[in-house]
Structures are given as C-alpha cells and as structure tokens.
C-alpha cells in the first residue's frame, strides 16, 4: 500500500466554518479515490488544527466527520 501525506492546507482559514467544512469534504473525497486505487491518504496535523470550529478542535472534527478512508499521522 502506498501512503501519501497531506502536509498542510495553506489556503484554509481555520476560523471560517465554511473553509473547515470544505476541507473535511475535500479530504474525504480524495481519501476515497486513493483507497479505490489501493493507496492511503494521511493527514499531517499541526498546532493550527487545535483551533475550535463548531465547539470542537478542527482536528477532532476531521477525525469524526471525514471519511474513514482518511488516515492520520
């Protein structure tokens, strides 16, 4: 299995709920495509993902709301 890490979403404003929602949706779609081809997409987090969005850290929302195909480093 080939692993690929998504290093950092530089164009995402983590204080903007719409940006966070789009990030979750986009990573989910990408992880599903990777999985269909026998690969894994992993998300590499940084301190910025501990900013809260809808009352939870963004990292927690990613883990709870993203596709199960998305892995985490």
Cα distance between the two ends of the chain: 16
* pLDDT at residue 40, as a whole number: 95
* pLDDT at residue 41, as a whole number: 95
pLDDT, tens digit, 9 for 90 and up, residues 20-73: 999 999 999 999 999 999 999 999 999 999 999 999 999 999 999 999 999 998
Spell out the SS3 assignment of 11-57.
CCCCCCHHHHHHHHHHHHHHHHHHHHCCEEEEECCCHHHHCEECCEE
pLDDT, tens digit, 9 for 90 and up, residues 4-24: 888 888 899 999 999 999 999
Distance of CA 6 to the CA centre of its chain: 8
């Amino acid at each position: 299995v080939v692993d690929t890490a998504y290093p950092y979403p530089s164009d995402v404003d983590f204080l903007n709920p719409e940006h966070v929602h789009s990030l979750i949706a986009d990573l989910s779609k990408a992880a599903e495509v990777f999985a269909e081809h026998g690969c894994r997409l992993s998300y590499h987090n940084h301190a910025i993902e501990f900013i809260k969005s809808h009352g939870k850290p963004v990292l927690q929302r990613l883990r709870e709301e993203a596709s199960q195909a998305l892995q985490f480093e």
